[in-house]
Structure 1
Amino acid sequence: MTIARVYDLRPAQVSWTDTLGDPPEGAWRRLERRLLGGGRWKPAQVESLASESARVLRHLPDPRQTSAFQGRGLVVGYVQSGKTANYTAVAARAVDAGYRLVIVLSGIHDALRNQTQVRLEEELVGVDEPGGPRWRLLTTREGDFREPEEDVLADDGAFLIVAKKNVPVLKRLDGWLEAVASRLQGVPVLLIDDEADQASINTRANRAPDPSLDSEGTTAAPSGAGPSATNALIRSMLGRAPQAAYVAYTATPFANIFIDPDAVDRDVGEDLFPRDFALQLPRPEGYTGTEELFGVSAQGRDVFRRVPDEDVSALRQATTRRSARPVTVRAEEQLLPNSLTDAILAFCLAGAIREGRPGLQGKPHTMLVHVSVRVEDQTQVRAAIEAQVDLWLEAMRQGHDLTALFVEALETHFRGVSTPLDPQATAQAAISVLRSLDVLELNSVTGENLEYDTRPARHIIAVGGNRLSRGLTLEGLTVSYFLRTASMADTLLQMARWYGFRTGYEDLIRIWTTDGIAQWFTELALVEESLRDSLQALYRAGRRPSEMAIRLRSHSALLLTAKNKAAMAETLTLSWSGEHPQTVILPLHDHTRLETNRRLADRLIGLCGPGREVAGGQLFRDLPPETVADFLRLFQAHPDAVAMRGEAIADWIIQRAAEGELVDWSVLLASAQRGTEVRIGGISTRVVTRSRISSEAIGILIDPRHEGADLPGGPDAYVRASGNYDAQAMRSARSPTQGLLMVYPLDPEPLGVENLDAVIGVALSLPYTSDGQSSAIVNRGVAS
């Protein structure tokens, strides 16, 4: 048996789903048929959905049992990655298995609730298809939950409710469940909480079982108080049903992981900690996410554009529409900062290029402008964008030709991109897009919707804030202008609407943002990777979240989530066990540091014995820990670097070596297959290409296959079914004695560095050591 098979195995488990028959025509079969027949889903994608939804179902309680149950679980997807498809399939399978009331809590805005209602009616219920399970809809496309006049639960079949996480709505729903409590016996409930880290988390406290104890203990609430309203209502609804399962869905589960696992309120019962299971959905085919924008796959992609500080200040003071037009207009006249006008021109060009590509004609096309959470700021920015567009249109009415303006923008922002027309014709097509632009303001005041279903061919500039940050899909998103800052990792990740499926136009994604925000996202890529590694480790161990702590590493000053959602968070002792620290930002503006690191790399490789060629470079073995520690102490990292703290890591290595761990080191001198040759420590290699995401951030440095260079079988023994390398499995396979230092000689040209033949980047692949899994943040209520 190969190593690749060994690390994927979990302890054999028998599930209640193994005893289920396969209904000839159930909700799942109908959904499967609809997806395959719609043309948007490939057979392999439907097969993956079938497998993953069955995996979630097997972790739910068996609805055929006669005893009461309360299930709690968590499903983690990727931002904009198809979580709705998974919970639709889970709901279909659950109904086939015996669950009868499906409640979906779909965000906090009407737009998202309505979007989800329409989708579930079409795909899950099959409102336009005869046959299959009989459904009763208790919410509609026009309205949220209202108490039915008759006792609908007396009917056979399944029931569907799609409700906002809005206190008045949830109160009505909870009151109805209380009123029909006698009918809930024999009606197993599946409650799916979409965007479960939003509004659902208890940010207050719990009332002690005995009121006399309310003043004691850290989680007891004062008499008469209790959990926050939305959280209390969700818990109350679950408690109304003798048989209920709760499944939280989110891409940013930091707050869910930090729920107190032992929290109970005397009125609404146990909290929503996912004690039974926490599952990571696989990365879907065709998804554009962290790997494509910040990882190795991002190299060679021209995605990021810097917004200078002066543009940020100017935009936040943007004036409203001019009341009087000048008599004459210059074609180059601007009312907006250069960066935003450039972004709008690029959006028009992206629309023109898309229209010439197969399968994209007449499809939605969107630009995101997310500058501020304040509605007043959004209104000003929308008005300023409209004024700028009007100014261009007026210039053309006065006889000015904007072709040269667009040709210049095409060369600047889409150089090397395949276009169906020549530059002049592409510019003319972009002018047609400019004439048809719809500038929409999406917030709680305007209430405007995107109307993708009824008006799909529009080119939309969507200006907004929080409504654009959760759940709501921006279809055909190509250009983003993003200045919104946040202090929490989960909030910032949810704002990344540029993640998602971009089939046919991945090369047109452009993001305008500040250096600081780009650097945050670079570090968040490592936080996100740490989370997914921990979830995979939990699953492979066959453990529940109540039995084994999910570990999170924070690499920057960003909080993982709001402090009032993380009362149970605890930082473990400093350690890098099972980690892969790396230089994601480099001191590119400090030539002295760069030269020092270049000399250090020469010295290190010169100390190595004979090496051998492996996939990705030259491998040197049998280095003592002292040599590696000395190199890390002297390495000149960026002053703001947090992911790579050389001196602290060096101290830790020596501490572990004193305990008999990390005593056997290998060094990989990375090399590209082609490119400029350089000599490092007398060894000939080729510089590796990494591009700048911001002025000094390069994104993820490590090529995942490199972490297996020194392992038996090499990296090819650790390939997932998707074809990607599983670096976490490589670190898991390491002996506690065995560490790997990776040295990357980077091509200085794309990094903007002169008078140096290579910029040195550094990374480590570290085994799990006896001092703990890592210096992680964990839920202190769960054994670690």
Structure 2
Amino acid sequence: MSNTPAHALLGIHTSALAGMVSAPKHFERWAALAAEEDYPDADLSEERFRACLISGDEALTALWRRHLTAWDFAEDPQWALGAPARTDERRTAVYERLHFGTDLRKAIDDAVPVAKVPGPTVITRDFTPWYTPERTTARSFYWTSYERKLRAKGWSDAAVASLGEASRAVVERLTDPEQPAARQAKGLVVGYVQSGKTANFTGVAAKAIDAGYRLVIVLGGTLNLLRAQTQRRLDMELIGQENILRGADETDVDSLVGVDYVGDDEDWPAFVHHGGRPSTLGAFDIERLTTRDNDYKSLAQGIRALEFEKREPTRPLYDQANIHHAAARVLVVKKNKSVLTKLVKDLKQIHGLLGELPALIIDDESDQASVNTLDPKKWERGSTERTTINGLISQLLKLLPRAQYVGYTATPFANVFVDPGDDDDIFPSDFLISLPRPTGYMGVQDFHDLNSPIPVAERTYANSQEKTHVRSIYESTGDRLQEAMDAFVLSGALKLYRAEHGVPDGPFRHHTMLAHESVRMDDHADLALRINSMWHQAGYSSVAGHERLAALWKSDFAPVSEVRAADLPAPTSYEELRPYVHAARQRINSGGQPVIVVNGDTDRYFAQLELDFDRTPHVWKILVGGTKLSRGFTVEGLTITYYRRTTQQADTLMQMGRWFGFRPGYRDLVRLYIGREEAFGRKRSADLYEAYEAICRDEETFREQLAQYAAVVDGKPQITPAQVPPLVAQHLPWLRPSARNKMFNAELVEVRSPGRPIEPAAYPLQSTALKRNTERWRPLLNALSATPTTFSNPPDASSTRTRTFEALTGVVSHRDLVSVLSQLEWERPRHFDPHLTYLRQLDGTLAKVDDWLLISPRIAANERVEASILGSVPLSLVRRSRQQPSKTSFGRIASLGHRVAAQRLIDKAGRPLAIRPKHGAGVGPTTGVALLYPVVEGDAHSSVQSVIRNGAADPSKIVMAFTLIPPASAISANRRLVHFRAKDSRHRDVATIPVNLGL
């Protein structure tokens, strides 16, 4: 009994688990049934099972990993009794169903830990459930093939299950393709830049086709190269060899005429095999209406054929009797006027059938070209003007009444600001899904030390992402371009070394460097010429060249790899690496041209570049480019980035982050040479690294708040997609979330800021308005004590000493403060209203705030200029300048040290602090803090002196600026923070609130 062979035990377990597709069941009983015929005396004890796991039985462990992962990820199954997915509670529920004992549970947990990865975040409208487990199990031909392909590519069971969960979340919110009533659902899926969004929409397409969708249109990029990349991916991982060949014999050259991939794509053997034509295996075929080499040409014949594929001609195509026997049609088309116009024209020729055809439109990079950028103010009443691609997508949706639209993007800001009242547009009215950050992905967070408690001086390669991967370009360091190029050669040599010492060379097929300094094509040519000259003068085969590389290896790559890639093979000396340096140099210089300029915008241009990473065996080059490299074009093998160009749009800047993505086997080699403020000789707004850090914070805030609101309250969604725009944040005032012409419909209604600073910026320009505002502050200024209070900030990452400053303080009631704020005038009307709406509710309506501690900081004595304002005690006047180019808004009002001190008061509310304003009150849990600054515009010291007469400041030349930090308790029980909507054209008479998202 104890000698039951391992293969027999594996077979018994396999058979037993095959009977548990829908739910885990009493394992011992099912195993006994499986063993009854062939192995009636098999040892099915928990002790034997446990011993196999402990001994490392890989086959048995893999079998259980697959099933346990499926149960761990299952979406709210009845058998789980409410235990959340991917938690210890869910795993316990599984064990209870299997009737496993304590020791076996521990062994399984050690062998197959719970994959506690986050699931997708879903913001949704109510929908009618139709995509049931029973339905998905019954029809899963193409999804099952796709799963197998992903596992063959090395995806873990957890990664496959995560993708399955995320793609199911999309499909179940589409309309049931079998339902009689035609209904369109529109959604948006938000991923990370270069994080595998294609994998998700391939999974969505697979599940949607299995469920009954018979026309899938993928809008894939604006160039043939990008479209072909998407087509190839779908052909390889979803459609498969049999559908591509359509019965052609691979051994018969004549029958392969016109068939792509066969004979000219080295990955053809890796394309999905279904084991025969799907239609002969009880499933249905997929007919491609576009191919790798040919964009859309003709639709009519392919679609009209569906009429002849009906088994019941008298019933509509979507009827269950017909839909699951008809072939699916797939098109991958460019977002191109002529292509989409032809598609629309052909659809118009087809009558009747389109009303029966369940269709799915997948829009990759849906914030590019797809969004209408015409100002709605210019629309004639009842008439909507559209940009070309947006108009054509709108026509597609009209022609296909059963079409579902799903947009994909990593930068969703433009999409969520689409007019929700425009039923023909692409606003994601039904759902918005934020995909989890994939395992192994390198994103913004991997290049910044966000909120790191470690002092800067103590950061090392082991504890600092910035120190590991970022090489700042300051004016004082020179341009570091030679160093970046040396790093490219060294990292290539290390890849070749690893490939020869046991690391699969698949990840090292391509090796690239990206240099980006300007959007101007002339600048690209100059930079390419310069890099070419540097390359030929670098002396990579000379003594001096090797000495330079050896120094960089010793000071940078060797110590980084030692702590970040200790499990990967590494040379013990530069001499051991030297032969691979020679090989890397040869690959980069192949054809005598190490540099390729990538800045064209035509298909012909890209065709002559030979930059098809799918069809070219090895691309080892330095790419010089601009915006054409920013969207959709994946730079494979990107290891070294040299980046010195900025922009004022967050989504554009994020899309330029080509260094984001998956770097298997060489994550430790990735380097980002990035411009810092001194390198540009400009204001801080030009600091690229700071800009990316701000975007990172904005992105994480957006995702965190999506997750917060995704939780269902009382069985209902907290917010719908129409209410998502308030979650779009902005940390840097000069960096907008999206282009101005994509934000016409942004309307901010309320911003709640419990425990967080409120700092408006658009103060009036006219002296009369300034004077009125200053006079309104008079009662609060009179509350300030003449005796200063000392504030101190403890040492932090930037300083080892305690910093102090003095300020005049006072306490005023919440009612008095709101009274003043409600009367203030702004350069942009209603600029402060979203915050004022929140503050007015802190009278007990939303939460209770009793009073506010006023703090008017005093400037350092050697720079201090004081003056009385409308009879107040003397206050320190400060200089601030309004921002370019609009000159309507100031930059940051509060000094960093002052804001830190104020924030500490709020964060430590109720704790004893050495602050005793004249009223004797401390800072309690219902007290807010207000920093007050009498601001004089200008940079020069004389500008401050000029506004003072006889010790008093001219109120018409003073901007009474402020920063408010409400107490952390100033929030409702539901924790909602914002109210912000896209302007709805169905209510055109409602006044638009001009919005500055940099509030």
TM-score by length of 2: 0.56
In structure 1, the residue matched to 2:554 is 411
Letter in 2 for 1:402: G
Residue identity matched to 1:180: I
Other-structure match for 1:62: 176
In the alignment, is the contact (CA less than 8 A) between 1:113 and 1:163 conserved in 2?
yes
Q: Is 1:303 aligned to 2:469, yes or no?
A: yes
The question of 1:94 aligning with 2:237 is answered no
Output the amino acid matched with 1:261.
P
Determine the structure 2 residue equivalent to 1:277.
431
1:25/1:558 Cα in 2 relative to 1: closer, same or farther (>3 Å)?
closer
CA distance in 1, matches of 2:670, 2:894: 27
Please say if residues 442 and 465 of structure 1, whose CA atoms lie closer than 8 Å, have aligned partners that are also in contact: yes
In structure 2, the partner of 1:238 is 397
Q: Deviations over 1:651-679 (max 9, x none)?
A: 8999xx9xxxx9955799xxxxxxxxxxx
Deviations 1:8-53 (A, max 9, x none): 9999986111262423651111111121123x31121111111111
Amino acid at match of 2:142: A
The change in CA–CA distance for 1:300 and 1:342 in structure 2 (over 3 A counts) is: closer
Task: Pick the aligned partner of 2:982 from 770, 779, 783.
Answer: 779
Distance 1:135 1:665, change over 3 A: farther
User: Is 1:553–1:776's contact at 8 Å kept on the other side of the alignment?
Assistant: no
1:121-270 correspondence to structure 2 within 5 Å: 121-128=235-242, 129=273, 130-132=276-278, 133-148=284-299, 150-155=301-306, 156-204=326-374, 218=377, 220-221=379-380, 226-264=385-423, 270=424
- Cα 1:664–1:599 change in 2 (3 A) is closer
Residue 568 of structure 1 pairs with residue 745 of structure 2: yes
Residue 360 of structure 1 corresponds to 505
Q: Which residue of 1 aligns with 2:95?
A: none
Change (3 A) 1:738 1:533: farther
Q: CA deviation at 1:152?
A: 3.6
Q: Which residue of 1 aligns with 2:55?
A: none
Look up the match of 2:833: none
Name 1:346's counterpart in structure 2: 487
SS at structure 1 position matched to 2:137: coil
Query: What's the offset of the Cα at 1:71?
Result: 1.2
CA drift at 1:168: 1.2
In the alignment, is residue 384 of structure 1 matched against residue 530 of structure 2?
Answer: yes
Q: Which is further off, 432-441 or 11-20?
A: 11-20
Tell whether the 8 Å contact from 1:580 to 1:766 is kept in structure 2 after alignment. Answer: no
TM superposition shift of 1:457: 3.4
Asked whether the 8 Å contact 1:555–1:642 carries over to 2, the reply is: no
Residue 22, structure 1, aligned to residue 137, structure 2: yes
Task: Give 1:469 shift.
Answer: 0.8
Matches within 5 A, 1:675-714: none
CA offset digits 1:223-278 (Å, max 9, x no partner): 987211110100110110120110010010000011111125xxxxx211111001
Q: CA deviation at 1:175?
A: 1.1
Match for residue 650 of structure 2? 489
- Counterpart of 1:322? none
Tell me the amino acid that sits aligned with residue 149 of structure 2. R
Looking at structure 1, the residues matched to 362 and 690 of structure 2 have their Cα atoms a distance apart, in angstroms, of 34
CA contact 1:635–1:646 (8 Å) conserved in 2: no
Residue number in structure 2 paired with 1:608: none
Amino acid at match of 2:650: A
Alpha-carbon distance in structure 2 between the residues aligned to 1:642 and 1:529? 25
User: Which residue in the other structure is 2:971 paired with?
Assistant: 769
Residues 191 and 435, structure 2, Cα contact 8 Å, conserved in 1: yes
Offset at residue 460 of structure 1 (A): 1.9
Tell me if structure 2 keeps the 8 A contact 1:469–1:496: yes
Q: Are the structure 2 counterparts of residues 46 and 766 from structure 1 closer, same or farther at C-alpha, using a change threshold of 3 Å?
A: farther
Deviation at 1:307, TM superposition (A): 2.1
Alignment of 1:444 with 2:600, yes or no, is yes
Contact kept? 2:417, 2:725, Cα under 8 Å? no
1:411 Cα deviation from its structure 2 partner: 2.8
* TM-aligned CA deviation for residue 110 of structure 1: 1.8
Amino acid at match of 1:443: N
Of residues 15, 33, 52, the one that matches 2:148 is: 33
How far apart are residue 536 of structure 1 and its match? Answer: 1.8
Shift in Å, 1:412: 3.7
Equivalent of residue 109 in structure 1, options 223, 243, 247: 223
Counterpart of 1:164, as a letter, is K
Q: Does the CA contact (< 8 Å) of 1:628 and 1:650 recur in 2?
A: no
In the aligned structure 1, how far is the partner of 2:187 from the partner of 2:479?
Answer: 48
For residue 774 of structure 1, report the CA deviation from its aligned partner.
Answer: 4.3
Q: Per the alignment, do residues 293 and 229 of structure 1 end up closer, same or farther by CA in structure 2, a change over 3 Å counting?
A: same
- Aligned pair partner of 1:372 in 518, 523, 531: 518
**1:520-531 equivalent positions in 2, closer than 5 A:** 520-531=691-702
Distance 1:382 1:525 in 2: 31
For 1:79, which of 165, 182, 193 is the aligned residue? 193
Larger radius of gyration: 2
Query: Deviations 1:721-773 (Å, cap 9, x if unpaired)?
Result: xxxxxxxxxxxxxxx97999xxxxxxxxxxxxxxxxxxxxxx99956714994
Q: CA deviation at 1:470?
A: 1.1
Q: Deviations over 1:126-145 (max 9, x none)?
A: 13533433011111111211
In 2, Cα distance between equivalents of 1:182 and 1:2 = 47
CA distance in 2, matches of 1:273, 1:99: 22
- 2:192 match: secondary structure: coil
Partner amino acid, structure 2, of 1:77: G
Residue 371 of structure 1: CA displacement? 1.8
Query: Residues 764 and 108 (structure 1 numbering): CA distance in 2 closer, same or farther, change over 3 Å?
Result: farther
Task: Name the one with the larger helix percent.
Answer: 2
1:469-508 equivalence runs, <5 A: 469-508=630-669
Moved more, 165-174 or 590-599: 590-599
Checking the alignment, whether the CA contact within 8 Å between 1:538 and 1:544 is kept in structure 2 is no
From the superposition, tell whether residues 52 and 633 of structure 1 become closer, same or farther in structure 2 (CA, over 3 Å): farther
Alpha-carbon distance in structure 2 between the residues aligned to 1:435 and 1:450: 18
- Counterparts of 1:101 and 1:773, CA distance in 2: 40
Alignment length (residue pairs): 618
Q: Please list the CA deviations of residues 356-390 of structure 1 after superposition, one character each: whole Å capped at 9, or x if unmatched.
A: 22123652111111222222222222232222222
Rounded Cα–Cα distance in structure 2 between residues aligned with 1:645 and 1:219: 43
CA distance in 1, matches of 2:659, 2:186: 31
Helix, strand or coil at the partner of 1:55: helix
How far apart are residue 293 of structure 1 and its match? 1.5
Paired residue type of 1:493 = M
Which runs of no fewer than 5 residues in structure 2 stay unpaired? 1-81, 91-117, 243-272, 279-283, 307-325, 453-462, 563-569, 589-593, 677-686, 760-794, 807-847, 861-879, 881-890, 914-924, 930-964, 988-992, 994-999
Query: Deviation at 1:647?
Result: 5.9
Aligned pair 1:509/2:662, yes or no?
no
Q: After the TM superposition, which of the residue ranges 79-88 and 143-152 deviates more from structure 2?
A: 143-152
TM-score, normalised by the number of residues in structure 1:
0.70
Q: What letter matches 2:394 in structure 1?
A: R
Q: Which amino acid in the other structure matches residue 96 of structure 1?
A: D
Q: Distance in 2 between matches of 1:238 and 1:578?
A: 45
1:44-79 alpha-carbon deviations (Å, 9 max, x no partner): 111111111111111111111111112110110001
Aligned partner letter, 1:286:
G
Q: Go from structure 1 to structure 2 and tell me whether the alpha carbon gap of 1:379 and 1:765 turns closer, same or farther (over 3 Å shift).
A: farther
Cα offset for 1:465?
Answer: 1.6
User: CA 1:66–1:149 in 2, change beyond 3 Å: closer, same or farther?
Assistant: closer
- Aligned partner letter, 1:351: G
Contact between 1:629 and 1:651, CA under 8 Å: does it hold in 2? Answer: no
